[in-house]
């Protein structure tokens, strides 16, 4: 992935033909401490991010198709190897049409509770969190690196494609406001 072993914001199951339903990450770093870094951050759609320390015997379980997450860079100056293994559980009913295809009827306030728990959020996530996606790419790959430039370009292209649609653009603006309001009240 990259030298620090970090991951930018992603879903473990981004779309078909992926079958992942559940992610289980098991952390086995002995004597993990804060200056090592490498925390996993889970971000429930439109909610508050949750940072989990990858300390020995910690297990994290989440929905692979509806949990945005990233892994913070490990500080290479601190001589500590990060040990982790991940198990993905596939599902038979993963990425159904209902999970996969955003409809015009989803682009309205009343659909927000559904989007917050549904894999449908994946279509809108990079637009709602466009800046956070960019920052995480830079933190993971390093400013000026080829990998950063390529991944940033890919993000920008996919974002522009999504925002071509006027209704999507308007709804994304609404979701950004909703997200801010919720962060201030939660």
Q: Is 19 exposed, middle or buried (0-12, 13-18, 19+ CB in 10 A)?
A: middle
Contact criterion met (CB below 8 Å) for 121 and 175: no
Please identify, using beta-carbon distances, which residue of 71 and 112 lies nearer to ligand AKG: 71
Minimum CB separation from ligand AKG for residue 185, in Å?
Answer: 29
For position 62 contacting ligand AKG by CB under 6 A, the verdict is: no
25 makes contact, choosing from Fe ion, ligand AKG, none, with CB < 5 to 8 Å by partner type, with: ligand AKG
Residues 6+ apart with CB under 8 A from 143: none
Minimum CB separation from ligand AKG for residue 12, in Å?
Answer: 5
Contact map string, positions 80 to 119, toward ligand AKG, x by CB under 6 A: ----x-x---------------------------------
Residue among 55, 175, 54 at smallest CA distance from 124: 175
Q: Which two tokens stand for residue 103?
A: 């409809």
| Number of other residues whose CB lies within 10 A of the CB of residue 56 | 12
Minimum CB separation from Fe ion for residue 17, in Å?
Answer: 17
Contact map string, positions 133 to 162, toward ligand AKG, x by CB under 6 A: ------------------------------
For position 32 contacting ligand AKG by CB under 6 A, the verdict is: no
76 makes contact, choosing from Fe ion, ligand AKG, none, with CB < 5 to 8 Å by partner type, with: none
115 makes contact, choosing from ligand AKG, Fe ion, none, with CB < 5 to 8 Å by partner type, with: none
CA pair distance 165, 49, nearest whole angstrom: 28
Residue 62 C-alpha from the chain's centroid: 12
Sequence-ordered strand ranges (E) for the chain: 7-10, 20-27, 40-43, 50-52, 58-63, 68-71, 84-90
For position 65 contacting ligand AKG by CB under 6 A, the verdict is: no
Q: Which of 8, 12, 43, 171 binds Fe ion (CB under 5 A)?
A: 12
Please give the DSSP secondary-structure letter assigned to residue 5.
-
Name the site residues for ligand AKG (rule: CB under 6 A). 7, 12, 25, 40, 54, 69, 71, 84, 86
């Amino acid at each position: 992935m990259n030298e620090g072993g970090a991951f930018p914001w992603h879903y473990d199951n981004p779309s078909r033909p992926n079958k992942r339903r559940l992610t289980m990450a098991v952390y086995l770093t002995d004597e993990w401490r804060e200056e090592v870094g490498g925390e996993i951050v889970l971000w429930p759609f439109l909610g508050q991010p949750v940072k989990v320390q990858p300390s020995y015997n910690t297990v994290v379980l989440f929905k692979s198709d509806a949990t945005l997450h990233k892994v913070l860079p490990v500080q290479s100056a601190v001589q500590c190897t990060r040990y982790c293994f991940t198990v993905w559980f596939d599902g038979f009913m993963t990425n159904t049409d209902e999970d996969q295809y955003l409809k015009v009827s989803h682009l309205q306030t009343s659909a927000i509770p559904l989007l917050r728990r549904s894999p449908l959020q994946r279509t809108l996530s990079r637009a709602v969190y466009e800046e956070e996606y960019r920052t995480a790419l830079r933190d993971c790959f390093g400013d000026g690196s080829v990998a950063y430039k390529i991944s940033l370009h890919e993000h920008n292209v996919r974002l522009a494609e999504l925002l071509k649609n006027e209704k999507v653009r308007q709804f994304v603006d609404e979701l950004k406001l909703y997200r801010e309001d919720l962060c201030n009240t939660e």
